[in-house]
């Protein structure tokens, strides 16, 4: 990965920075933001970190997560370099417009916009955290334990702790170095995967009980449901359902995992995850939604049995036109 010299020079030259990342932030957005902020602070720069939605409870373990602010100081921003991390437009940041000195975009998502004065986009990078790791090495700053934990968590979240396809030799070597810098990998994993509330666990069990496996054409779909009643009975909330959709994927024969979560009475957020070559974005767009080949979603209202039937028909059509 080649770090653009322009960015290194800018970080060395400028004094004031504002780091922002996307709404509903996860470990990569937060860890990359905080690590970069800590490095710039070490270089005596004036740095602020903004995230519209703040730090979710489960990421409170990230060292210096308290740096993340949910309010933007617009006056200060005018003379500050804006660094947009792990996303590449203002809409994802949750801001309408900005007045700032310069805009730098650092992202690993494929991009369609040309927002920003300097754009560093690496679609091949598994995580924004790995880009920041390389940037810090290029800057020549020490990576201390606090930065290392933030970068390790960023990388861990976006590679499923090295379980996804995007696990490269480079990211494994970076992880090795971060462990040497003081990260306890077992501790990070416990925070990421063993910090569930009892309510969340109860909701998962309720959801798993609804799993139906339906074969349409040659596609096996695991369909699950979370109703408003289930939220009420377990005391869990929508933010607890992140990742639930991956559980039915453990079944070898399942091609698509589809989860319907009731958002208001009779209206559903459908999430679709597929394995391999099955393109669920085509299904989602049929219902006015969107996404990528292996992860997509849409919104739909109606009786749950009808809604499920609608999905299965769309899958059937997809198979027929292939």
In the complex, minimum distance from the CB of residue 250 to a second copy, in angstroms, rounded to a whole number: 5
Q: Give the angle subtended at the CA of 200 by the CAs of 59 and 30, to the nearest 5°.
A: 15
In the complex, minimum distance from the CB of residue 9 to a second copy, in angstroms, rounded to a whole number: 30
In the complex, minimum distance from the CB of residue 79 to a second copy, in angstroms, rounded to a whole number: 41
Taking the C-alpha atoms of residue 304 and residue 317, their distance in angstroms, rounded to an integer, is 20
CA 312, distance to chain mean position in Å, is: 28
26 or 255: CB nearest a second copy: 255
> Pick from 133, 132, 110, 113: which is nearest to 121 by CA?
110
78 or 275: CB nearest a second copy: 275
**Three-class SS of residue 21?**
strand
62 or 204: CB nearest a second copy: 204
What number of other Cβ atoms are within 10 A of residue 285's Cβ? 15
Neighbouring-strand partners of residue 271 = 259, 297
93 or 171: CB nearest a second copy: 171
In the complex, minimum distance from the CB of residue 265 to a second copy, in angstroms, rounded to a whole number: 27
- DSSP class of residue 14 equals -
78 or 137: CB nearest a second copy: 137
Taking the C-alpha atoms of residue 144 and residue 35, their distance in angstroms, rounded to an integer, is 9
- Site residues (vs a second copy, CB under 8 A): 160-170, 172-173, 175-177, 179-180, 184-186, 189-190, 193-198, 201, 204-205, 208-209, 211, 213, 248-253, 275
> Pick from 183, 126, 132, 134: which is nearest to 158 by CA?
126
In the complex, minimum distance from the CB of residue 189 to a second copy, in angstroms, rounded to a whole number: 4
């Amino acid at each position: 990965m080649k770090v653009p010299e322009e960015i290194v020079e800018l970080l060395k030259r400028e004094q004031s920075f504002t780091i922002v990342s996307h709404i509903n932030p996860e470990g990569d957005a937060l860890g990359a933001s905080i690590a970069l902020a800590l490095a710039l602070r070490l270089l005596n720069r004036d740095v602020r970190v903004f995230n519209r939605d703040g730090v979710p409870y489960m990421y409170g373990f990230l060292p210096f997560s308290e740096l993340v602010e949910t309010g933007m100081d617009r006056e200060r921003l005018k003379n500050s370099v804006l660094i947009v991390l792990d996303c590449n437009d203002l809409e994802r940041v949750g801001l309408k417009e900005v007045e700032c000195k310069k805009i730098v975009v650092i992202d690993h998502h494929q991009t369609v916009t040309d927002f920003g004065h300097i754009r560093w986009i690496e679609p091949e990078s598994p995580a924004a955290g790995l880009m920041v790791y390389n940037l810090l090495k290029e800057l020549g700053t020490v990576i201390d334990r606090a930065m290392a934990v933030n970068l390790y968590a960023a990388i861990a979240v976006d590679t499923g702790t090295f379980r996804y396809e995007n696990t490269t030799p480079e990211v494994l070597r970076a992880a090795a170095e971060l462990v040497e810098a003081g990260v306890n990998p077992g501790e990070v994993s416990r925070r990421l995967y063993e910090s569930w509330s009892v309510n969340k666990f109860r909701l998962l069990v309720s959801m798993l009980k609804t799993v139906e496996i339906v074969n349409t054409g040659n596609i096996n779909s695991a369909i699950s449901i979370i109703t408003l009643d289930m939220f009420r009975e377990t005391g869990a909330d929508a933010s607890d359902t992140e990742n639930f959709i991956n559980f039915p994927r453990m079944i070898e024969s399942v091609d698509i995992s589809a989860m319907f979560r009731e958002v208001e009475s009779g209206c559903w957020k459908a999430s679709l995850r597929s394995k391999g070559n099955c393109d669920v974005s085509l299904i989602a767009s049929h219902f006015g939604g969107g996404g990528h080949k292996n992860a997509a979603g849409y919104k739909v209202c109606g009786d749950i049995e009808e809604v499920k039937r609608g999905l299965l028909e769309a899958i059937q059509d997809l198979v027929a036109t292939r």
